[in-house]
């Protein structure tokens, strides 16, 4: 019997519409998988069993009448940053203990309007601040991937779901798994881990500096950060308002296209959402990229980059060239300033956005001798160390005497980064190819990362420029490292040309194949 959780969204959609399966059946299959795996992987912070079953039954009733939306009966996970009416919404922070909003985020409302089923809320770094999903109040998410004890020395072209490698020449090499637990990336680590481990058909996520693309790369999934303004931010707990953007994480490029079509919309409640028609992104899948100009930025070859990242990048270049694309070298000269500028702009906006969490109206309240003492005690107890660190940095760079020296200068750098991309696209480049991350997934409680927050921040080195410039970017699985862990390639596009990203990413996907972890949980 087919494991219904292994169906892609496109496959499940076809079977649901063809009345081969019922929404209740596929929902029950996912709920059973979650019950088994979540105590180990910690991907969900809340599982909405009853609501999921009710929504699935409603979907079956609509499908039985030949009705239904684009995602009718498809079970999804929702990142805990998205407001869900009457359901746990805490941005995985202690400061929002017990908060259940009386409203629905625009993005999740769009998904429910299209018939999707909610399985629950997904774990994440607290207030989306982190690159490993270790800052969550509910504990770290565990990556469903594990390192192989056998160094294959050659990245295999095919990775089978049973955990074996199909090596060149058709020789199959079994591999043993290391017991070390790995991070799934962050901040959308719960979303990426749940999709990779078949605990939902797809998931919502958000990206402020790489928080969709980095965890997607670490888990062998597809994640797209759309153009700033493509998806409404209304009902999403704000981290850095000028950088945050919602997007999907899915198992393949087609599924990501299907999800983004439903998630995207203009919204009168969000003045930064853009009033542009939402294309049928799925229609871009399979289109030829012959004649397309692909830019390769020299600045993304950073010191100390592992050999397997460079090798993968070269493979991606070869795949696109073989498909008919023209490869051109380009320069994005202000790239080297992107990370330090980002870690001024993002904390500055975070310090302002998080000022609202004071224990007065909702969430945690720690009593004090007066209102100021209550504020201080509530925020001290409610926020984790990483959030406190960023609030302090942000408050500092916005303070009198430092605003001009830090925040204003960072905004000027941001303008120059955006101009670099504009110049490249004006010269005829259609899409830019880079690595998605500087390494494969690293270990939980990695001492090197824990002792030096800056090393953790360097995980965003290839992704932050996209947010600083407001551009769309997608991470697509492209290979495995010598220890059998997934690696991703990133494509960066012109504003509101997500179709081009899906079109090009599908070419990479066809050449690289899809990747699944060996089940150990």
Residues carrying an active site annotation = 79, 187, 211
φ, ψ (nearest 5 deg) of residue 247: -165, 175
Beta bridge partners of 491: 433, 474
Helices marked H in 323-368: 338-353
* Cβ proximity of 264 and 280 under 8 Å: no
Q: Exposed, middle or buried by CB within 10 Å (0-12, 13-18, 19+), for 186? A: buried
Sign of CA dihedral 457, 331, 212, 510: negative
Beta bridge partners of 488: 477
* Cβ proximity of 187 and 153 under 8 Å: no
Closest residue by Cα to residue 159 from 385, 471, 483: 483
Quickly list DSSP for 185-247: -SSSHHHHHHHHTTSSSEEEEEESSSTTHHHHHHHT-EEEEPPTTSS--TTB--S-TTT-EEE
How far is CA 476 from each of CA 122, 155, 168, 396, rounded to the nearest angstrom? Answer: 21, 16, 22, 37
**∠ CA 342-345-346, rounded to 5°:** 80
The residue whose two tokens read 């950073």 is 302
Element of type H or E holding 422: helix 409-426
How far is CA 115 from each of CA 59, 83, 138, 194, 496, rounded to the nearest angstrom? Answer: 6, 18, 29, 20, 25
E-assigned strands of 317-365? 326-330
Phi/psi region, residue 428 (left: phi>0; alpha: psi -120 to 50; beta: rest), is left
φ, ψ (nearest 5 deg) of residue 154: -130, 130
Alpha-carbon gap, residue 141 to 493, rounded angstroms: 30
Per-residue DSSP letter, 84: B
Q: CA end-to-end span of the chain, whole Å?
A: 21
Alpha-carbon gap, residue 299 to 434, rounded angstroms: 10
Tokens of 258: 């299907």
């Amino acid at each position: 019997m087919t494991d219904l959780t292994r169906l892609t969204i496109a496959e499940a959609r076809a079977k649901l519409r063809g009345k081969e399966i019922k929404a209740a059946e596929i929902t029950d299959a996912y709920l059973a998988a979650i019950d088994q795996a979540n105590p180990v992987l910690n991907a969900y912070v809340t599982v909405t069993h009853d609501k999921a079953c009710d929504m699935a039954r409603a979907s079956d009733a609509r499908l039985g009448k030949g009705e239904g939306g684009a995602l009718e009966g498809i079970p999804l996970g929702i990142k805990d940053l998205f407001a869900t009416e009457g359901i746990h919404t805490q941005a995985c922070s202690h400061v929002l203990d017990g908060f259940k909003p009386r409203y629905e985020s625009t993005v999740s409302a769009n998904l429910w309007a299209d018939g999707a089923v909610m399985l629950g809320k997904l774990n994440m770094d607290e207030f989306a601040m982190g690159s490993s999903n270790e800052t969550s109040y509910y504990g770290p998410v565990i990556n469903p991937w594990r390192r192989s004890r056998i160094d294959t020395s050659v990245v295999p072209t095919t990775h089978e779901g049973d955990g074996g490698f199909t090596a060149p020449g058709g020789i199959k090499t079994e591999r043993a798994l290391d017991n070390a637990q790995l991070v799934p990336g962050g901040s959308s680590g719960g979303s990426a881990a749940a999709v990779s481990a078949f605990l939902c058909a797809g998931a919502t996520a958000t990206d402020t500096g790489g928080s969709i693309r980095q965890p997607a790369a670490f888990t062998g999934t597809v994640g797209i950060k759309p153009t700033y303004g493509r998806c409404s931010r209304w009902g999403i707990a704000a981290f850095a308002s000028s950088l945050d953007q919602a997007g999907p994480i899915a198992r393949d490029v087609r599924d990501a296209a299907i999800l983004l079509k439903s998630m995207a919309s203009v919204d009168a409640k969000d003045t930064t959402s853009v009033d542009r028609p939402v294309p049928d992104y799925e229609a871009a899948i399979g289109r030829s990229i012959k004649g397309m100009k692909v830019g390769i930025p020299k600045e993304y070859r950073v010191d100390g980059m592992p050999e397997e990242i460079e090798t993968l990048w070269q493979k991606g270049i070869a795949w696109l060239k073989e498909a008919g694309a023209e490869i051109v070298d380009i320069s994005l000269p202000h790239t080297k300033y992107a990370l330090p500028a980002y870690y001024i702009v993002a904390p500055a906006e975070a310090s302002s956005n998080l000022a609202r969490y004071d224990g007065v109206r909702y969430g945690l309240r720690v009593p004090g001798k007066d209102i100021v003492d209550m504020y201080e005690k509530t925020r001290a107890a409610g926020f984790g160390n990483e959030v406190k660190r960023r609030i302090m940095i942000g408050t500092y760079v916005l303070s009198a005497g430092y605003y001009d020296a830090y925040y204003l200068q960072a905004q000027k750098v941001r303008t120059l980064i955006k101009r670099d991309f504009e110049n490249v696209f004006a010269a005829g480049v259609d899409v830019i190819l880079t690595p998605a991350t500087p390494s494969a997934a690293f270990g939980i409680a990695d001492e090197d990362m824990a002792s030096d927050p800056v090393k953790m921040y360097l995980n965003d080195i290839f992704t932050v420029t996209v947010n600083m410039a407001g551009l769309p970017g997608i991470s697509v699985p492209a290979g495995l490292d010598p220890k059998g862990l997934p690696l991703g390639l990133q494509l960066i596009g012109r504003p509101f040309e997500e179709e081009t990203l899906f079109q090009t990413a599908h070419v990479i996907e066809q050449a690289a194949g899809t990747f699944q972890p060996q089940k150990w949980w």
